[in-house]
């Protein structure tokens, strides 16, 4: 696995260099596009260089995409993203973020699941309703990694940016809980219901979501106090922040709380209590520099893997058709799941529909959805779910990611 990780890292560094010098695209999109082109060329030359093709296939397989993301780099990316989130600014949009990250995810899961089930029946694909709901749960949360990477390039209003960023940071944790709850319904989850299913799902929510937030707050206060006590030693301060992320995330899985939610909360508390965003003093500057590098490195690795992972799919016309239909289903459900909660709030925007449109188009899907789809290896519908998930993620990152900036300019200029 280390060898595969090293090769992917080298590819990411090389592609980043090419993009910086010549392509000038958003880095994550460029890395994914170049990876797709690379694996396409390698696939075409499969007959001539079969060993070379197999070598790249082994890279993705040995990297273990799901474990690498969910058990590894996700903690670093979420912490790095949350480190510069202003809690005071976030609090101004708290009700919108809470509703989008909870009610919005549930609404979207139901709409996507129901419509995907219906579409599958129409084109003759056997996809049980609960399995369609699993797809709805894994595709409904917006990916904070993809969202924050693209938002750096899109010039949008501050309040709108906070809504999108805050929602994306929190709703992946909620989405994982919803996903796990549906797994319980299918009888395939790690948590097997001993009593009523509703009680088991409620217990899961309390343990994972509420427990993750409380555990993250504890990590944040411990981390910030520890760093403050050794502020004169920048290197040790960075080591403490790394220990909070690595050790804290590992412990989260042992005590059965949401690691992603814990990292988001811990990152926000440490970032705000230390005023990391000011970048004043050697400690804050080193923390900023190190975590910015880690953010870029792991983002690069993730999006290269997303591009290379296309070899996991075997062409199937019916699956591709369902995937294309799923793109429209996901966009429709995103609009409804944003519009309904948004309509419950008081807002100051002159044109709420424009805001909902940006929130809809800016809700990108990425690596987390793919990782959850890959976790369904034992599910009889796993191949179908992975296929349509990849199609939606590809469209989301490439089409939505490249056009969100132009959409903002068109609506607000």
For 411, other C-beta atoms within 10 Å of its C-beta total 15
Residue 348, C-beta contacts closer than 8 angstroms, at least 6 positions apart: none
User: What span, in angstroms and rounded, lies between the C-alpha atoms of 304 and 289?
Assistant: 23
Structure tokens at 147: 């969202």
Residue 135, C-beta contacts closer than 8 angstroms, at least 6 positions apart: 112, 113, 116, 326, 373, 385, 388, 389
User: What span, in angstroms and rounded, lies between the C-alpha atoms of 322 and 388?
Assistant: 7
Residue 193, C-beta contacts closer than 8 angstroms, at least 6 positions apart: 184, 199, 200
Domains along the chain with CATH numbers = 66-412 (1.20.1530.20)
In this structure, the chain runs to a length of 413
Mean pLDDT of 373-378: 84
Residue 191 near residue 239, CB atoms below 8 Å: no
**Mean pLDDT of all residues in the chain?**
88
Structure tokens at 348: 């100051």
Q: Name the 3-class secondary structure at 170.
A: helix
Higher pLDDT, 393 or 379: 393
Structure tokens at 233: 């030693």
Kindly indicate the confidence band of residue 407, based on its pLDDT and cuts at 50, 70 and 90: confident
Count Cβ atoms within 10 A of the Cβ of residue 374 and give its class: 0-12 exposed, 13-18 middle, 19 or more buried.
buried
Place of tokens 């983002």: 299
Q: Name the 3-class secondary structure at 160.
A: helix
Place of tokens 């309904």: 340
What pLDDT, on a 0 to 100 scale, did the predictor assign at position 195? 53
What pLDDT, on a 0 to 100 scale, did the predictor assign at position 68? 83
User: What span, in angstroms and rounded, lies between the C-alpha atoms of 125 and 261?
Assistant: 36
User: What span, in angstroms and rounded, lies between the C-alpha atoms of 346 and 278?
Assistant: 32
What pLDDT, on a 0 to 100 scale, did the predictor assign at position 149? 67
The least confident of 112-121, 168-177, 192-201, 285-294 is 192-201
Q: 231-285, pLDDT tens digit by residue?
A: 999 999 999 999 999 999 999 989 989 999 999 999 999 999 999 988 889 999 9
Structure tokens at 14: 């090389």
User: What span, in angstroms and rounded, lies between the C-alpha atoms of 70 and 62?
Assistant: 15
Torsions phi, psi for 314 (to 5 deg): -105, 135
Q: Name the 3-class secondary structure at 44.
A: helix
User: What span, in angstroms and rounded, lies between the C-alpha atoms of 368 and 184?
Assistant: 20
Q: Name the 3-class secondary structure at 320.
A: helix
What pLDDT, on a 0 to 100 scale, did the predictor assign at position 5? 84
Structure tokens at 403: 């056009």
The least confident of 148-152, 243-247, 314-318, 332-336 is 148-152
Kindly indicate the confidence band of residue 230, based on its pLDDT and cuts at 50, 70 and 90: very high
Kindly indicate the confidence band of residue 413, based on its pLDDT and cuts at 50, 70 and 90: low
Higher pLDDT, 51 or 290: 290
Phi-psi region at 264: left, alpha or beta (left = phi > 0; alpha = psi -120 to 50):
alpha
User: What span, in angstroms and rounded, lies between the C-alpha atoms of 77 and 145?
Assistant: 7
């Amino acid at each position: 696995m280390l060898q595969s990780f090293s090769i992917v890292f080298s590819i990411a560094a090389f592609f980043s260099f090419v993009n910086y010098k010549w392509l000038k695209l958003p880095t994550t999109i460029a890395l994914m596009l170049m990876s797709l082109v690379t694996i396409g060329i390698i696939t075409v030359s499969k007959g001539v260089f079969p060993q070379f093709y197999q070598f790249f296939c082994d890279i993705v397989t040995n990297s273990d995409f799901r474990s690498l993301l969910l058990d590894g780099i996700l903690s670093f990316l979420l912490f790095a993203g949350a480190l510069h989130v202003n809690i005071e600014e976030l609090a101004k949009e708290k009700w919108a973020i809470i509703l989008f990250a909870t009610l919005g995810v549930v609404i979207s899961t139901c709409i996507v699941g129901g419509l995907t089930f219906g579409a599958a029946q129409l084109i003759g694909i056997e996809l049980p309703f609960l399995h369609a709901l699993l797809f709805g749960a894994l595709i409904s949360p917006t990916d904070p990694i993809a969202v924050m990477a693209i938002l750096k390039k899109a010039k949008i209003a501050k309040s709108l940016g906070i809504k999108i960023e805050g929602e994306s940071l929190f709703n992946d944790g909620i989405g994982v809980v919803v996903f796990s709850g549906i797994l319980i319904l299918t009888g395939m989850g790690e948590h097997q219901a001993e009593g009523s299913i509703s009680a088991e799902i409620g217990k899961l929510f309390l343990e994972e979501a509420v427990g993750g937030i409380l555990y993250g707050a504890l990590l944040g206060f411990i981390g910030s106090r520890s760093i403050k006590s050794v502020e004169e030693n920048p290197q040790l301060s960075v080591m403490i922040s790394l220990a909070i992320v690595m050790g804290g995330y590992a412990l989260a899985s042992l005590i059965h709380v949401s690691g992603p939610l814990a990292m988001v909360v811990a990152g926000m508390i440490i970032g705000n209590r230390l005023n990391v965003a000011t970048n004043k003093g050697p400690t804050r500057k080193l923390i900023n520099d190190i975590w910015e590098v880690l953010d870029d490195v792991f983002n690069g690795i993730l999006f290269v893997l997303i591009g290379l992972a296309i070899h996991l799919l075997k062409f199937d016309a019916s699956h591709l058709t369902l995937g294309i239909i799923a793109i429209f289903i996901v966009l429709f459900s995103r609009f409804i799941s944003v519009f309904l909660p948004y309509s419950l709030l008081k807002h100051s925007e002159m044109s709420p529909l424009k805001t909902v449109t940006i929130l809809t188009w800016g809700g990108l899907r990425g690596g987390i959805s793919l990782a959850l789809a890959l976790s369904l290896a034992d599910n009889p519908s796993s191949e179908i779910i992975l296929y349509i998930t990849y199609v939606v993620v590809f469209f989301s990152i490439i089409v939505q990611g490249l056009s969100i900036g132009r959409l903002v300019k068109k609506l607000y200029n």
